[in-house]
Structure 1
Amino acid sequence: MTAAALEAHIVVSRSRFTVDVDLAVPAGGTLAIMGPSGAGKSTLLRALAGLVRLDAGAIRLGEDVVSRARPPVHRDPAERGIALLGQDPHLFPHLSVRENIAFGPRARGVAVRAARSTAEAWLERVGLAGTGDLAPAALSGGQQQRVALARALAVEPRLLLLDEPLTSLDVATAAEIRVLLGAELARTGVTAVVVSHDAADTVGIAERLVIVEDGALVQEGGVEEVLTSPRSRFAAAVAAAHRFGGDADSTQTGPRDRPRA
């Protein structure tokens, strides 16, 4: 599939507040969403993925309206051309590493041999050549997340959703996969939305950043623009953590300087 521009007005009622946020990402762009716990970030991703229905608003991918409150449209998650990568890689334990990656292409009608060839190519790209016959349980947590990333990108999604995919990894492994993720997003040109609590992820992966608090968008702009001129206490805390911590991490790769595989 071809990467698609995203235009969304997402309104979802929750018990404590209503999530009401506008999002826009050009085709091939990467948008980061940050906010305190319970701000509505995961609700936004679930709405984009089709796991939550809209109470108002609409979601458009390219020329396709995939969700709309009125008149109602709700395309099933499998029909949206969207891949979701979260903290847990959710690999199929009964399939080999190779077959995990080949699963998506095969589900879309790609012949078995071609799908397995695609899987092998992706294993090489994510630094796991030679592991195709292994079971997921034989891999470390970081290796499993590399396989999950390969599986998500092997289906050539129109939109990739990343829900804190590095949170469960140790610092060194997270840094390695952050660089890999930035490189593959640049190489494939896929449109992406990433939710993270870590400014290092935002700086290393995204071009634009939105801050969401209590279900509302409180600031948006280029990543460095938001981090240098925060407009809320949360954004200021994130900016401070980045200045005193993230800047010292030499593994960071800015979105405009991502290495290409």
Structure 2
Amino acid sequence: MDSRDLIISKLEKLGLSSKEGEVYLQLVKAPYSNGSQIAKKLGYPRTSVYSILSKLQGKGCILSVPEGEVTSYVAINPQDLIFRLKREIDDATNVLGEEFKKIDIESNEKQFLNINSYEGITERIHQLLKSAEKEVYINTNFNLDEFGKFKEDFKLLKRKGVRVIFFSFQNKGYESLGAEHYSRSSLKEDASNKTKRILLVVDMKLAIMASNYGGEFYGTFSENKLLINLIAEHIHNDIYLMKLEENYKGDFWEDIKLNTMQEIENQE
């Protein structure tokens, strides 16, 4: 892209059409040109050029200079024009930013974002961990090595004083992440299990759940309050059961089972 095309493309981003940019640039090169001269130079019909000149005047990009029966035109100094257009854009974006903050998002518009790649899921987890201010709840069978990719995020959480509650399928090691670590000794699942899953809640405002059940990694991120509460309750209940198991040595399990499909599938 040569200098001329680059200038015109950038003027388009500032609100001028391609032809308006061409006419303005021609007047920068040859000030005090009239419509016929511009039309001849650019190869446009005179009626089209006069229409463009009128629009450029309306936008404050050029001035008309009557000279007897002929009207000539001169471009506003490019630096002055750029400064003015930039200021107008800045003012508009600032106003829009404030006005959009005033718009209430209805609860049924709360986000459910489906993510269908391991990289997309880990990137979202990075974002969630970095955004935490008070508490993070995690339930996962990712092993400690797999959590190495989040090491810097956990360091940041520790510096910010964020409480991290971590339930896993390994008995030790996660304390190195600065987390309160819990695990249940009765769980038969090996951390090397090929089926991986993670539940994560941040500040009771954001949540993600993901798994590679079936082979490919899929996950759902949400700000929906119901889903966040369900995930948080699941994580808490796993820890409550762990503490009950420690207190009662696991003797209560047979008495509380419901004999459901869910229990049978989880035993397999």
With normalisation by structure 2, the TM-score equals 0.23
Higher relative contact order (CA 8 A, sep 6+): 1
Greater Rg over alpha carbons, structure = 2
Structure with bigger helix share is: 2
Larger % of strand: which? 1
TM-score (norm 1): 0.24
